[in-house]
Amino acid sequence: MLHQEKRLIVVGTSCSGKTTLAGSIARIFEIKHIELDALFWRPNWTETPADEFKFKVAQAIQRKSWVADGNYSPVRDMIWTRAQTLIWLNYSFTKIFSQALYRTLKRALTAEKLFSGNRESIRQSFFSSDSILLWVIKTYARRKREYPLLFKELKYAHLKVIELHNQKQTDALLASYRTLSRMLNRLD
């Protein structure tokens, strides 16, 4: 187990790969993975009440080391002010939408069980105002504008921001983390 504290947050448009990257980082450094979607969504896609969600997040980030993923603005200050590193998956719209389409179709066809037993369906994913695909389209440009402005805020000045534009850069970051992890393990 690594003794050095690590607190990271992975952000980006929905379907950019936040959870996958955060899970990989958690395994590399042997730290807790905090999936904000899992704390937010209850069964039947019911939202957790705001106070309860904030309480769950506050408890989760009290650990010395963790990696969280998600874009929930109601808990942003809590997470970002405690985090040391922020990784922004700033991929192209084409990349994100193709990932969203593939992931959503796969989940709907296989009835993959997600957090709280929820499942995506063809109807919900393609023919609903709650469609994740529609959400990606509606939020992509906003995230591209919003994040650079947030990074300039004084309360987040302590964050080491890593902006990744493609999978090759993400793979290189993971490779560097694996190397760092091996080096730190030798020192333990």
* Residue whose token pair is 């493609």: 166
Q: Architecture of 7-187 per CATH? A: 3-Layer(aba) Sandwich (3.40)
Q: How high is the pLDDT of residue 186?
A: 73
Q: How high is the pLDDT of residue 1?
A: 43
Q: How high is the pLDDT of residue 3?
A: 53
Percent of the chain with pLDDT strictly greater than 70: 97
Q: Could you tell me if 25 and 171 are in contact, meaning their C-beta atoms sit under 8 angstroms apart?
A: no
Q: Rounded CA gap, 88 and 163, in Å?
A: 5
> 175-188 pLDDT, tens per residue?
999 998 888 777 65
Q: How high is the pLDDT of residue 155?
A: 97
Q: How high is the pLDDT of residue 108?
A: 84
Q: How high is the pLDDT of residue 188?
A: 55
Alpha carbon distances (Å) from 181 to 31, 69, 121, 128, 186: 11, 20, 39, 44, 9
Annotated domain spans of the chain = 7-187
**Ranges in the chain, pLDDT < 70:** 1-3, 187-188
Q: Give all strands (DSSP E) within 41-175, no chain letters.
A: 41-42, 46-47, 66-69, 85-89, 160-164
Neighbours of 39 (CB within 10 A): 23
